[in-house]
């Protein structure tokens, strides 16, 4: 149980119950979008075409709505989730330490190309989490990027996003 | 035994040094393709197809089918080690394979996966050898209603057994269906839920979702618990293959069941993905250790791998005899056949004997050679996990990004991957099961179109699903499996009431 592990003493960020309710509400919103768009497309039988384009998704949306409402009601009335911790502060900081750089990395992909971005990302990750020297990180990052480059661009001829550096070398 | 002598002839065609060398090259290339994200069996075969144009057709098809074998074996490696299935049918392998790797038993899981795929494929090749004409006729009986029934059965065999809240399972599955329906509707040509964005035109791709949900989600979850990854501490066992082989015969029943499911699903155009999920679901239902499935059971690796490869292999049969490809890769191979001027169909067996039996013989040999090659590498693959997590984790994230990008050559998919990663992380913590979501995403389009086609045939009447013995039988079986939890509960009550 996560309850025993990171509940109790550690600083709580958000309770499981709050997350349950939030996710159920998001799912309900998704169900609403699906149903609304299905109705726009037409859920009825058409003379020649058969079932309309919204026919199948409509029922999927209804099922999704029903199940998220049940989950929502259960979470709302079940107070036991209030005490349990969805994620503790230090744990969440660790997750963010991966997620935020990942988002920056993905944003950088299309600008400086995947190979340079990957090498930098791997180097920083190794330095921050593994305590490696920046030099060692850069060496391993560059090696991984280079092998990816050889495999995708040279051998299998699959083009990946490239930036000014690759362009400089004529790719 | 006319088949045996023809097969012998096939072996003679295959067994020359040139073809054997092609075989080994093909398998090694295939393993690389299978391990690299975004390059699956179908893509790999397609990319390398031009290489083979200068070869004689028999050599070319031998090499291509060996690439295919290699890719199948390779797909299991990333599923088990990093929780990233490269192909839809490897998804079920991650359920128990990855937990095993985390417990430091990656070598056992890999050996079981490789051996099971070999067994599954071997059985399928034997079926192809002796039953080709009979089986080909059976495949023709499959209409949209039967196809939908099979898909229904797959969902049914997989759903009823969820441990957590059934409503969360349902929510997860319907979310998958909803995501699958996004994009261009193939029947009416209308745009569904794209809201004017060009990127959503092609819908959500399975691979993007899976890489995010499983790959990124896994990394985020393991970051939370610090940087521990038990696989790192695994001993390097050189005799792991032998040790695992000693355990495998105990799962003979699962193996046979999975072979039957696989062959049947491959020949009928059900495909390898439903076969692997169904086989996993049914193994979980019937196994003594059913409740331990998902936590690292060897049997949970055996079942989906056997079925997926039995299906993947027997899918070549309708292609050869009827010209109907049973899988995406078979479709690419079919394209190759046409380029070489070979017309698939019943006449192929008469006019191109050398070619057909050469291909079948190469299936036996290629599969065997593949098994030997990958098994010798098991300690090597398992050793990858001994690399410190702070190096492996960013490398996995980079490879995930590459994989997501190559799906459509679009940055949009990389962003989607990040989003799916967050969804996977949150869903995992709240007990929403991910497998139903993925299954619905993979099969959603197929299930919907076969359902709509059947509805068209019957003019909107559901009775088409019970219109003949075949389809009615499958549907009833599915309904039984779906309601099994309820039935089991009632039976339990009944038994409790009696002795007391």
Are A67 and A132 contained in the same domain? Answer: no
CA separation (Å) from B64 to A152, B50, B132, B335, B357?
19, 11, 21, 12, 15
B49 vs B254, which has greater pLDDT?
B254
A74 inside domain? yes
Task: For residue B38, report the phi and psi dihedrals to the nearest 5 degrees.
Answer: 80, -5
Are A84 and A118 contained in the same domain? Answer: no
Shortest distance, CA B201 to any CA of chain A (angstroms): 15
Looking at A55, A88, A121, the residue that finishes a domain is A88
**Are the Cβ atoms of A152 and B397 closer than 8 angstroms?**
no
Question: Number of folded domains in chain A?
Answer: 2
A29 inside domain? yes
A43 inside domain? yes
A93 inside domain? no
Beta carbons within 10 angstroms of residue A4's beta carbon: 8
Are A119 and A50 contained in the same domain? Answer: no
**Are the Cβ atoms of B171 and A125 closer than 8 angstroms?**
no
A100 inside domain? no
The number of C-beta contacts closer than 8 angstroms across A and B is 184
Q: Span B279-307, mean pLDDT?
A: 85
Residue A65 has pLDDT above 90, yes or no: yes
Are A124 and A50 contained in the same domain? Answer: no
**pLDDT, tens digit, for every residue of B319-374?**
777 666 666 677 777 777 777 777 776 677 777 777 778 778 888 888 888 888 88
Are A81 and A159 contained in the same domain? Answer: no
Which of B13, B87, B43, B141 is CA-nearest to residue B312?
A: B87
Which of the four pLDDT bands, split at 50, 70 and 90, describes residue A102? very high
Residue B268 has pLDDT above 80, yes or no: no
A117 inside domain? yes
Are A117 and A82 contained in the same domain? Answer: no
C-alpha A3 chain-centroid distance: 24
Are A20 and A82 contained in the same domain? Answer: yes
Q: Which residues of A touch B394 (CB under 8 A)?
A: 121-122, 125-126, 141
Residue A58 has pLDDT above 50, yes or no: yes
Which of B170, B192, B411 lies at the smallest CB-CB distance from A110? B411
**pLDDT, tens digit, for every residue of B58-116?**
788 788 888 878 887 887 888 888 887 767 778 888 889 888 888 888 888 989 999 99
Residue B160: predicted pLDDT: 61
Question: ipTM of this model?
Answer: 0.88
B324 vs B317, which has greater pLDDT?
B317
Residue B227: predicted pLDDT: 55
Residue B161: predicted pLDDT: 58
Q: Write out the residue range of the structural domain in which residue A42 sits.
A: 2-88
A142 vs B72, which has greater pLDDT?
A142
Q: Which residues of B touch A156 (CB under 8 A)?
A: 33, 36, 39, 47
A107 inside domain? no
Residue A5: predicted pLDDT: 40
Residue A61: predicted pLDDT: 92
A101 inside domain? no
Residue B186: predicted pLDDT: 73
**Are the Cβ atoms of A106 and B418 closer than 8 angstroms?**
yes
Beta carbons within 10 angstroms of residue B56's beta carbon: 15
Residue A81: predicted pLDDT: 67
Are A6 and A83 contained in the same domain? Answer: yes
Q: Span A4-20, mean pLDDT?
A: 65
Most confidently modeled of A128-137, A158-167, B60-69, B323-332? A128-137
Residue B479: predicted pLDDT: 85
Most confidently modeled of B200-204, B384-388, B422-426? B422-426
Looking at A26, A54, A88, the residue that finishes a domain is A88
Q: Of all residues in chain B, what percent carry a pLDDT higher than 90?
A: 7
Which of B178, B193, B388 lies at the smallest CB-CB distance from A130? B388
Residue A26: predicted pLDDT: 94
* Least reliable range by pLDDT among A12-21, A59-68, A94-103, B149-158: B149-158
Residue B291: predicted pLDDT: 76
Are A14 and A82 contained in the same domain? Answer: yes
Which of B193, B398, B448 lies at the smallest CB-CB distance from A122? B398
Which of the four pLDDT bands, split at 50, 70 and 90, describes residue A7? very low
Are A20 and A77 contained in the same domain? Answer: yes
**pLDDT, tens digit, for every residue of B450-483?**
888 888 888 878 888 888 888 888 888 888 877 7
Residue A6 has pLDDT above 60, yes or no: no
Q: What is the mean pLDDT of chain B?
A: 80
Q: Span B134-161, mean pLDDT?
A: 74
Place of tokens 């199940």: A67
Residue A9 has pLDDT above 60, yes or no: no
Residue A24 has pLDDT above 90, yes or no: yes
Are A122 and A68 contained in the same domain? Answer: no
B188 touches A: beta carbon within 8 Å: yes
């Amino acid at each position: 149980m996560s309850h025993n592990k990171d509940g109790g003493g550690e600083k709580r960020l958000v309770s499981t119950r709050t997350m349950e309710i939030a996710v159920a509400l998001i799912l309900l919103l998704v169900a609403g979008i699906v149903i609304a768009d299905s109705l726009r497309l037409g859920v009825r039988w058409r003379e020649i075409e058969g079932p309309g384009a919204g026919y199948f998704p409509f029922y999927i949306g209804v099922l999704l709505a029903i199940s998220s409402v049940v989950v929502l009601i259960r979470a709302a009335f079940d107070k036991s989730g209030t005490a349990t911790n969805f994620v503790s502060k230090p744990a969440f900081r660790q997750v963010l330490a991966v997620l935020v750089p990942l988002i920056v990395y993905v944003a950088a992909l299309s600008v400086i190309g995947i190979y340079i971005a990957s090498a930098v990302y791997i180097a920083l990750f190794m330095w921050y989490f593994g305590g490696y020297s920046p030099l060692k990180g850069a060496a391993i990052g560059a090696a991984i990027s280079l092998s990816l480059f050889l495999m995708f661009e040279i051998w299998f001829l699959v083009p990946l996003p490239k930036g000014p550096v690759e362009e400089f070398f004529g790719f | 035994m006319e088949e045996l002598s023809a097969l012998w002839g096939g072996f003679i065609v295959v067994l020359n040094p040139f073809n054997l060398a092609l075989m080994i090259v093909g398998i090694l290339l295939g393993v690389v393709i299978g391990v690299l994200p975004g390059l699956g069996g179908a893509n790999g075969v397609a990319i390398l197809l031009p290489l083979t144009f200068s070869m004689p057709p028999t050599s070319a098809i031998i090499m291509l089918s060996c690439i295919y074998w290699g890719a199948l074996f390779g797909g299991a490696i990333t599923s088990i080690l990093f929780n990233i299935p490269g192909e839809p049918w490897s998804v079920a392998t991650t359920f128990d394979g990855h937990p095993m790797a985390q417990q430091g038993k990656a070598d056992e899981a890999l050996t079981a996966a490789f051996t099971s795929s070999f067994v599954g494929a071997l059985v399928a090749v034997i079926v192809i050898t002796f039953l080709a004409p009979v089986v080909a006729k059976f495949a023709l009986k499959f209409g949209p209603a039967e196809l939908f029934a099979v898909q229904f059965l797959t969902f049914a065999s997989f759903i009823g057994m969820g441990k957590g809240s059934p409503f969360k399972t349902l929510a997860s599955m319907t979310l998958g269906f909803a995501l699958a329906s996004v994009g261009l509707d193939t029947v009416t040509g209308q745009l569904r839920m794209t809201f004017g964005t060009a990127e959503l035109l092609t819908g959500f791709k399975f691979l993007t979702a899976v890489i995010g949900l499983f790959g990124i989600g896994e990394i985020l979850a393991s970051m939370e618990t610090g940087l521990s990854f038990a696989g790192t501490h695994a001993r390097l066992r050189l005799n792991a293959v032998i040790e695992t082989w000693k355990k495998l015969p105990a799962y003979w029943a699962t193996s046979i069941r999975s072979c039957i499911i696989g062959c049947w699903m491959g020949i009928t155009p059900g495909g390898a993905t439903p076969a692997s999920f169904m086989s996993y679901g049914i193994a979980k239902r019937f196994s003594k250790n059913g409740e331990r499935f998902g936590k690292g059971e060897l049997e949970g690796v055996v079942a989906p791998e056997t079925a997926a490869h039995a299906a993947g292999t027997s899918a070549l049969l309708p292609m050869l005899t009827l010209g109907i490809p049973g899988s995406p890769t078979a479709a690419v191979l079919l394209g190759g056949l046409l380029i070489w001027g070979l017309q698939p169909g019943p006449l192929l067996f008469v006019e191109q004997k050398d070619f057909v039996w050469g291909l079948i013989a190469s299936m036996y040999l290629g599969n065997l050679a593949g098994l030997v090659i990958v098994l010798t590498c098991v300690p090597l693959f398992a050793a990858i996990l001994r690399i410190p997590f702070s190096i492996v984790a960013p490398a996995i994230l980079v490879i995930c990004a590459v994989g997501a990008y190559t799906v459509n050559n679009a940055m949009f998919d990389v962003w989607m991957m990040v989003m799916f990663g967050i969804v996977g992380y949150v869903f995992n913590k709240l007990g929403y099961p991910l497998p139903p979501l993925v299954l619905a995403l993979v099969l959603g389009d197929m299930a919907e179109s076969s359902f709509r086609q059947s509805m068209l045939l019957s003019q909107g009447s559901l009775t088409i699903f019970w219109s003949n013995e075949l389809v009615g039988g499958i549907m009833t079986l599915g309904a039984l499996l779906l309601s099994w939890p309820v039935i089991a509960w009632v039976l339990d009550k009944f038994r409790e009431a009696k002795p007391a």
